[in-house]
Each structure stands twice: as C-alpha cells, then as structure tokens.
Amino acid sequence: MISTKKLITYITFFVLIQSGLYAQVNNIAPNIIPAVHQWQAGSGSFIINAATVFKFKPSVSTQKTVAIFLEDLAALQGKERQSGLQAKRGKNDIIIKIKPQRHLTQLQRESYHLEIKPDKIIIKAMDEAGVFYATRTLLQLIEQSADKQSIPCYIISDIPAYPFRGFMLDVGRKFFPISQLKDYICRMSWYKMNQLQLHLNDQAFHGQHYAAFRVESKTYPQLTATDGFYTQQEIKDLIQYATDRGINIIPEIDAPAHAMSILDIAPELKNEKLQDGQLDVLNPKTTAIMEKIFDEFVLLFPSPYFHIGTDEYRFKKATTTEDRKAFAAGFCNYINHFNRYIGAKGKKVMIWSGYNEMPGFTPIDSNIMIDMWLGNNAKEEIKAGHQVVQSTDGWLYIVPGTNYYGVDNKFLYEKWAPNDFGPNQQLNPGEPDLLGAKLHVWNDLGPMGFTYHETADEVAVALPVMAEKLWGNKMSPSFDEFIKRVDGLKNVPKVNDTRLLNASKNSDPIVDVDFKENTLPDAVNKQLIKPLAGYESKSVLALDQHDFVRLNLPADELEQPWTLSFRVKKTDTRDTTTVLFESPYGTIFLNLKDKKSGKTGLGIARTVGYKEYAGEGEDFYRQVFNSIVPVNKWTQITLTGGHNNCTLYIDGKEIESVEKQFVCPLKTIGSSCGHLSASSFLTNIKVFGRILKRDEIMTLYLNAKLLVD
C-alpha cells in the first residue's frame, strides 16, 4: 500500500508542479471539511453560471456525478438545475480527466487534484470516486461565496488517511424513513464519509418488549416489522442513491444476541439459561434459520462487507460454569460457521469485539474484521491477523435521550486519534490493519426516543469532526475554531433540517390561544369553550376526563429550544394521573406519579399518555417535578426545553431545572389516546420556538393574571 505522504508527493510532483502555480494573493487556507492535504492559493475566481460546460470522456458514472453536482448546486443557489452537459466550445469550462490505473487502493481511488483558474476548472483523478470528492470540495467553496457562484482560485491535492470513514444508524429500534436515510447519506457525502452501517434489527432496552426487523423478508414474511420497514426494492434504490454519492451501505443483522425479533417468529430457539433476546447457539435450528435469513439478505446488499453482529451474548446468573463454557464454544463456532458461510458468497464478514471474553474461549478465524466497540485488546486482535475498525463505545457512541455514553466533540477534535483505543492500546500511526473508525447512533429508547430532528442535531457536529480526523488533516488549532468552520458549511444540499413549526427567534409565539374570541383550531370541540365565571367577555377551555382538542399544527411536537406557557385551574381534587398536552413523542401531565419515590406532581415524559415504551421508572424518560398544582386556583405554568435541560416556572418564578431533554407536545390538549385528560380550565396558551428569559416569563405571568384573575 502506498502511504498517504508518498501519494501526495506523487500527485504534487507530477500534476501540481507541472500545471504551473499562480501568483499567490493570500495565505488563507480553503475552508473545506474535511480539510484538504495540500493547497496553493491563486488569484481571482471562477464564476460558475449558465455558460459553464462540463467536459469529460463519456462515462455513465461521471455523468451521474455531474448530474448530482448540478442538482446540489441548484439547491445551494435556490434555482432550477442547469443541464451543464451541452457540447460547445468556449471558456468557463469544468474539465474532468480520469487517468485510471490498475490495482488502486481505496485511498488512491478517493484522491483527487483540483485546479481552479479564472477561466476553467480542471479535475484530475485516478477513479470516479476522486472526481466525486472533488465536486464536494467545489460545492463547499461555492456555499461560502456571497453570490453562490464564485469559486476562489486554488490548486488542491487531496487524499484521505483512512479508507473506512463510517457512520452507523440504529434503525432496528427506531424506524427512520427512506427520506431520513437519504438525508444522512447527503450529510455523509458532504463531508466525504464513505461507509453507512444500518443496524437492521434489535430490541429496545429498559424493560420493554419491543423488537423489530426492518427489511422486508420474503423467506420469513412474519419477521418483517409491522410498524415500519424497508421493502427490498426500497433498499435497492437506497443502495444506488448511496453508491452514486460515494457511500457503501453495510447491512448488519445482529445475532445471536439482540435477536428478539427472530425469537418472536421462532420461539423454539430460546433457551432459559440465556438472557432475553438470545438465540440458543447449541440448537441446530438456530444455524438453519440464520442461514436462510443470511441467504436472502447477503444477495440483497452488494456491499463487500457484511456485519453479523455477535455482541453481548449473555447468560442468566444461575447458569452453571459448564453450561457457560458450552455456550461460549457454541458462540465462537457460530461466528466461524457464518464467516465461512457468508465469506463463500464473496463477503468480508464483520463482527463486534468482545467474543474473547467468553469463558473457555475458542479462537475465531483470522480473516474476520473486528468492529472494536470494546477497544481493550486492539493490539492483540491485529496481532492475531484481524483487520479492525475503531468504534470505542465511550468515545464514539451517541444514545439520544439517555444519560449514558455521549460524544465529547471537543475531546474528539483536539485530543483523540483513530489509532488510540485507550490505555496501552495505541496502535502505531499508519497501522495498515486499522482501516478507520465509525460514529454510532444507538436508539436504546426504541420508537419513543429522540425525534428525527433531535437525532440530526446530535450528529450535526460529531459527523464533521469524525470526517476531518479520518481524512487526516486537522486544520483548526482548537475545537472552537473548527466550529466556526462548520457553521460556514451547515447548508448541506438536499437535507431538510427545518423544523415544521415556525421556530422564529423573535418575540412572536408560534401558538397563541386565549379563547377570548371563542375560537379554537379544532372546530369539532368548540363546545369545550366555556365563559369564564364573572368575566362575560372572557372564555376558557373546559377539559373533563375524556375531552381533548386537536391543535392541527404542521407538526405534533416542537424540539428544543422551546417555551410553553399556559394558565390552568385544576378542578379535580384527586391526584389521578391525567394528561394536559400530548404528542407521539411526549406528554405533559397535570399529575404524574414517580414510582420510585412515590411522589406525585406536575410531570413531563417521553411517552404517549401512560404508555411508556421505554419501561417503567427510567428517570431520563420522564420528570416528576416537586410541585403540585393547587385545586380551584389559577396557576401560571411555564416550561422551557433546551439541550439536555428542562425548567419549570410557576407564577413566573423558577421552581426546578433538570438535565433532561424533552419535546413540547402539541398534537392535542388533553389525551386522544384513551387516557384521562386533566379536569381543568385552561387559557392563555402560548408556545415559542426559543427559551424565554426570566423577565419575559414573569411578564407572561403578569399579563395572563390580568386576563383571568
């Protein structure tokens, strides 16, 4: 394998120097993420416009790359796509030159050389992959120009440091629609990431029985998830979409642990000596069924890699030592069997690390690729002949909504290196069997975890951080400086990060309902509007146990940052759990009982009504505040939601703040899911797409007090 340094030198000598340097007008490095390896500033700019013509040797792949470039350019410019393919002579051309060579490494395939002159742009590469990455660099330069068409003149020679630059998304425990997967593909390609791992089956944690297998199975139709799945044709289309953007999709079917969805259709594979969701590897039927499953899906995914999971195979406490050793041997035999079975179909098999912690360890095949989520033996794995990917859980795991794991982006950018697996596990720089690293999103909460926008926010900075560290040229001296660069490149073409509710940062509320005009978004429930006793000109919403009102907004909830304020008078003397506001991702309760402490108070949770998908008693899914709303007295409730923060105000005064992140539920006032609504009067309901300041919250209280008191 040619080293990165040698290849850059090769490209620079034979291409950059021979092309001639332009008069340097400044010493400002191009803001590209990931940072380019070598650059030379020129004078002037290339203006891309309707007269620009792409010139290249006829090729389906190159034509696709050009078409994607033009689509993305139009998205950045807010214009209709230009054809850019007409054949005519003239200046202002973008010329693509591919000089293919035999036996290219992945790094060589992805390298490119870019010459930007005032009258033309020349892209030189040894493979189509390099051409595509050159277009990403051009688009990032365009995005930062005021007119979205000026490209400053540079000569750039670029190449990644690692061939495996990955991102994993857990779609097994939380279904992501195809549109969302395409958004992640666009984000990845923008930052020159190249491996998307889809964790296709799993079960949610924390006491709930929720399991799903996300790809349509024609061999076992009952295996296919009923609450969200991908048809095989959708998978094929998605693979093509990703391939056109330089991204390989790695399928992961996780077994013999994390396999509750398989046990749901084949309960005979269960063994009482194993923890829930574990297949009995000593049962021959396990091998037979898994062979049929792999037969179907190995053929569906053209990826050179196929991930078979094999993490966290666990026994029950009462299992004897002899039984543990037998299961451990069977587990390693399972790994070897499917390595050879799937390998015979032309795939490189990947597994998670940790198998060697089993009692009575049985060696596994040395050609298996190890996904190192436990990095405490990286050196030993390489010594045993394995290729490895850096996936250390403490550094590279995002678990949205929980209080464990989490990525420290500042640490990753300033101190972490892909070859560092922890104490005494630093690999030599340039270790050829370290292929790269991978960022992960695990949806342990299941369907009721973070919304799509919340998850995207969690990834928004971590993904470019990983991209720059894996491309191998850390340009910014600090994380704060890096963030400034990221901010200039946030507008990823064809990715919709806009919240559906108008979350303007001005003083105007998104929702403003006081009922005094006898109006309500849900016309069906106008009968719930009652005159306020003693105030003939004022009205309130009168909820009883089975009443609810649909707000009919563009979205059912608002993600952070948000403020919800309302005036409420409780009319029921009981402390029964009742719903004030509800949505698919959250509920606000007038009364919620904390089953650990026994206390009851105003509460908020990631749940639909009383159904807690994430299990009973998990305190990062819900919060019972130390506050009981009084009976027959008007009370001003204000809640603010920020990143890992939720604060309660009563009558304008801060009562309690917690480090938990919730959505503002806005599908209904009261519960539409058959749960009890809060028997109460409500008015002056306001929702803001920002966190209000304390003085603003006090002003809301004082103004509302004048309305009804």
Region of 518 on the Ramachandran plot (φ > 0 left; ψ -120 to 50 alpha; else beta): left
Q: Output the pLDDT for position 607.
A: 78
Average pLDDT over residues 392-415: 93
CA-closest candidate to residue 167, choices 497, 407, 491, 338: 407
| Contact assessment for residue 167 and residue 195, using Cβ atoms and an 8 Å cutoff | yes
Structure-token pair, residue 4: 């990165």
CB 675 within 8 A of CB 609: yes
Tell me how far apart the alpha carbons of residues 294 and 343 are, in angstroms, rounded to a whole number: 11
pLDDT average, residue stretch 136-164? 96
Count other C-beta atoms under 10 Å from residue 117's C-beta.
Answer: 20
Per-residue pLDDT tens over the stretch 87-116: 445 678 999 999 988 899 999 999 999 999
Strand spans (E) along 442-526: 511-513
Structure tokens at 251: 């399928």
CB 621 within 8 A of CB 452: no
Euclidean distance between CA atoms 71 and 56, whole angstroms = 18
| Active site residues per annotation | 312
Q: Which of 61-75, 531-545, 621-635 is least confident? A: 531-545
CB 600 within 8 A of CB 628: yes
Quick one: pLDDT at residue 76?
A: 93
Q: State the Cα–Cα distance between residues 158 and 472, nearest whole angstrom.
A: 10
Backbone angles phi, psi at 288, to 5 degrees: -65, -45
| 445: pLDDT strictly greater than 50 | yes
What one-character DSSP code corresponds to residue 14? I
Over the stretch 540-587, which tens digit does the pLDDT of each residue have?
Answer: 889 999 999 998 888 999 999 999 999 999 999 998 999 999 998 899
Are 604 and 530 within 8 A, CB to CB?
A: no
Cα angle 354-270-373, degrees, rounded to a multiple of 5: 15
Select, from the ranges 2-6, 226-230, 403-407, the one with the highest average predicted confidence (pLDDT).
226-230
> pLDDT band at residue 4, thresholds of 50, 70 and 90?
very low
Which of 48-52, 199-203, 322-326, 703-707 is modeled with the greatest confidence? 199-203
Average pLDDT over residues 479-497: 93
CA distance 255 to 253: 7
Using CA atoms, how far residue 404 sits from 354, 442, 625, in Å, is 20, 11, 22
With contact defined as beta carbons under 8 Å apart, do 186 and 245 qualify? yes
What average pLDDT score do residues 138-160 get? 96
- For the chain, the maximum distance between any two Cα atoms, rounded to a whole number of angstroms, is 89
**Given pLDDT bands bounded at 50, 70 and 90, which one contains residue 172?**
very high
Q: Identify the band that residue 402 occupies on the pLDDT scale cut at 50, 70 and 90.
A: confident
Integer Cα distance of 363 and 369 in angstroms: 14
Is the pLDDT assigned to residue 140 strictly greater than 70?
Answer: yes
Cβ–Cβ < 8 Å for 381, 387:
no
Average pLDDT, the chain: 89
What whole-number percentage of the chain has pLDDT above 90? 72
* pLDDT tens-digit series, residues 603-637: 999 876 655 443 454 667 889 999 999 999 999 99
Question: How large is the average pLDDT for residues 596-604?
Answer: 87
| Amino acid symbol at 709 | D
The Cβ of residue 485 has, within 10 Å, a number of other Cβ atoms equal to 18
| 7 pLDDT higher than 80 | no
SS3 354: coil
Question: What local confidence, expressed as pLDDT, does residue 388 receive?
Answer: 98
Q: For residue range 508-520, what is the model confidence (pLDDT) as tens digits?
A: 888 888 887 656 6
For residue 247, report the phi and psi dihedrals to the nearest 5 degrees: -120, 130
Amino acid at 95: I
**What is the mean predicted confidence (pLDDT) over 465-481?**
96
Beta partners for 548? Answer: 670
Among 258, 244, 363, 369, residue whose Cα is nearest residue 306:
369
The residue written with tokens 């697996």 in the block is: 421
- How far is C-alpha 48 from the chain's CA centre? 33
DSSP 421-433: -STT-BPPTT-TT
**Range 455-480 average pLDDT:** 96
Both tokens of 685, joined, read: 């309901």
Residue 707 confidence (pLDDT) above 70: no
Give the model's pLDDT for residue 673: 87
- Alpha-carbon distance of 620 to 326, in angstroms, equals 38
Q: Report the C-alpha gap between 443 and 500 in whole angstroms.
A: 23
Confidence of residue 138 (pLDDT cuts 50, 70, 90): very high
pLDDT at 132 over 90: yes
Assigned token pair, 234: 């959708």
For position 10, what pLDDT does the model report?
A: 40
Q: Looking at residue 519, what is its pLDDT?
A: 62
Residue 290 or residue 360, greater confidence = 290
Task: Give the pair of three-digit tokens for residue 434.
Answer: 């370290």
Number of other CB atoms surrounding residue 647 within 10 Å: 19
Residue 309 has pLDDT above 80, yes or no: yes
- Of 155-169, 563-577, 586-600, 656-670, the range with the lowest mean pLDDT is 586-600
pLDDT tens, residue by residue, 204-229: 876 567 899 999 999 999 999 999 99
**What SS3 string covers 202-237?**
EECCCCCCCEEECECCCCCHHHCCCCCCECHHHHHH
Among 268, 273, 261, 295, CA closest to 283: 268
- This prediction has a pTM of 0.91
